[in-house]
Amino acid sequence: MILLIDGFNLIYKFPALEEKMLRGFLEEAREGLLDMLKEFQKIRKSYIRIVFDGKKNPARDLRSERIGTIDVYYSLNYSADFLIKEFIKKDPNPKMTTVITSDKDILFYVSRFGARSMTSEKFADMVTTTLEEHYQEALPEKEDNPVVSEEEVSFWERVFTRKGKKK
């Protein structure tokens, strides 16, 4: 699966990241999104290309970087919308790419090239569900009603009673 993501459009679909953006913690919000996407990528085995509006750092004109296995692009003097459209236009097989955005203009544009699309809201739900299910599977199972013998109860009573007396 190849994903082309409208970065800031997606950030606002995760309440914790939206809160960071509203408080002015742009870098932390971006890093939080990238961390989530790295975990998602491990589970879903997808190639991710994400585009953010503007610059990563006001002092540098960094166009792209690789964070783990995610290709991150910064639009600099263009809009992220423009870069996303250019990626699709120049893609030799756009039908293999799913564009993640809720921007109707982008959705209409990429559909003309046969690229698949998904709204940021739907994708955010998919990421959240995928990560939650993965972490639930990783948790050890607990017995609903564990059986504890009288001998075990007595043992633990002695252990805790001794500790209390030593103080």
- Residue 57, pLDDT score: 66
How many domains in the chain?
Answer: 1
CA 28 remoteness from chain centre: 13
Under 8 Å between Cβ of 110 and 85: yes
Mean pLDDT, the chain, rounded, equals 89
Q: How many CA atoms lie within 13 A of 102 on its CB side?
A: 11
46: domain CATH number is: 3.40.50
Q: What global pTM score does this model have?
A: 0.78
pLDDT along the chain (167 residues), means of 10: 95 96 94 96 94 75 86 90 95 96 96 96 96 79 74 82 59
**Spatial separation of the C-alpha atoms in residues 50 and 73, rounded to whole Å:** 6
Please check whether residue 154 lies inside any domain of the structure: no
Please check whether residue 86 lies inside any domain of the structure: yes
- Residue 58, pLDDT score: 62
The residue behind tokens 């997606």 is 10
- Residue 142, pLDDT score: 67
Please check whether residue 72 lies inside any domain of the structure: yes
Please check whether residue 156 lies inside any domain of the structure: no
- Residue 50, pLDDT score: 97
Please check whether residue 159 lies inside any domain of the structure: no
Please check whether residue 149 lies inside any domain of the structure: no
Range of the domain at 52: 2-139
Please check whether residue 90 lies inside any domain of the structure: yes
- Residue 4, pLDDT score: 97
- Residue 121, pLDDT score: 97
Please check whether residue 144 lies inside any domain of the structure: no
Bridge partners (DSSP) listed for residue 79: none
- Residue 56, pLDDT score: 72
Sheet holding 2-6, edge to edge: 64-67, 70-74, 47-52, 2-6, 97-100, 116-118
